[in-house]
Structure 1
Amino acid sequence: MSAEPAAMTVLHVDDDGEFAALTTELLERQSDRIGVVSAATGDEALDLLERESIDCVVSDYEMGETDGLELLAAIRERHDGLPFILFTGRGSEEIASEAISAGVTDYIRKGRGTDQFALLANRIENAVEQARSRVSYRAVFENTDVGLTIRDVETGRVVDVNQQYCDLLGYDRETLGELGIAEITADVPGYDAERGVELLERALAEPAFTFEWPDRRSDGSTNWVEVDATLVEIEGRERSLVTVHDVHERHEREAVLATLHQAATDIQECKTIEAACDRTVAAAESILEFEMCSVMVAEDGWLVPKAVSSGAPADGARRMRPDQGLAGETYRTGESALVEDVLTDDVSEPANESYRSGISVPIGETGVFQAVAAEPNAFSQEDLELAELLVSHTARALDRLRFEAELRRQNDRLEEFASVVSHDLRNPLTVAQGELELARENHDSEHLAHLGDALDRMANITEDTLRLARHGGSVEDPRRVDLGTFADRCWSVVSTDDATLTVENVVIRADDGRLQHVLENLFRNAVEHGSTSPRSTSSHEDGAIAVRIGGLPDGFYVEDDGVGIPEAERDRVFEPGHTTTETGTGFGLAIVEEFATAHGWDVQVTESEAGGARFEFTGVERLD
Structure 2
Amino acid sequence: MPEGVLIVGSGDAADHVADGLATVDGIGVLRAGTLDEPPLISERGADCVVVTLPEETGEQLRILASVGRTEVPTAVLADGVAVPPGVDRIAPDDESALERWVRTSLDGETEPDGDEREAPAPSSDELFDDSPTGTLIVRDGEIRRANPAAAEVLGRGQADLVGIDPATLVDDPDRDGIEELLGAELPPDERRRCRIAVNGDGTVDVQARRLDDGTILATVVDVTERTRRHERITALHDATIALMGACDAESVAELTVETARDVLNLPFSCVFLNQNGVLEPVAITERAREIIGRPPSLEPGEGLLGRAYDAGETVAVDDAQRDPRFHEDGDEDVRGYVVVPLGEHGALAVGSPVVDDFDEFDVTVAELLAAAAETALDRVAHEQTLRERETALREERDRFSALFENIPDPTVHSVHEDGEPIVVDVNDAFEETFGYDAETMVGEPLDDFVVPEDRTDEAEHLNERVSAGEHLDVEVRRRTADGTRTFHLRNATVGVETDAVEEYAIYTDVTDRIERERELERQNEQLDAFASVVSHDLRNPLNVVLGGTRLVRETGDLAALDDVLTAAERMDALVEDLLSLAREGEVVGETVPVDLQSVAEDAWTNAETTDGNDDGWNDDGDRGTLSVESTGTLQADSTRLRELLANLFRNAVEHGGVTVTVGVLPDGFYVEDDGPGIPESDREQVFDHGYTTDDDGTGLGLTIVEEIAHAHGWDVEVAESDGGESGARFDFTGVEFE
User: Which TM bucket (shorter chain)?
Assistant: 0.3 to 0.5
**TM-score under structure 2 length normalisation:** 0.40
- How does the TM-score come out when normalised to structure 1? 0.47
More contact order relative to length (CA 8 Å, sep ≥ 6): 1
| Structure number, greater radius of gyration | 2
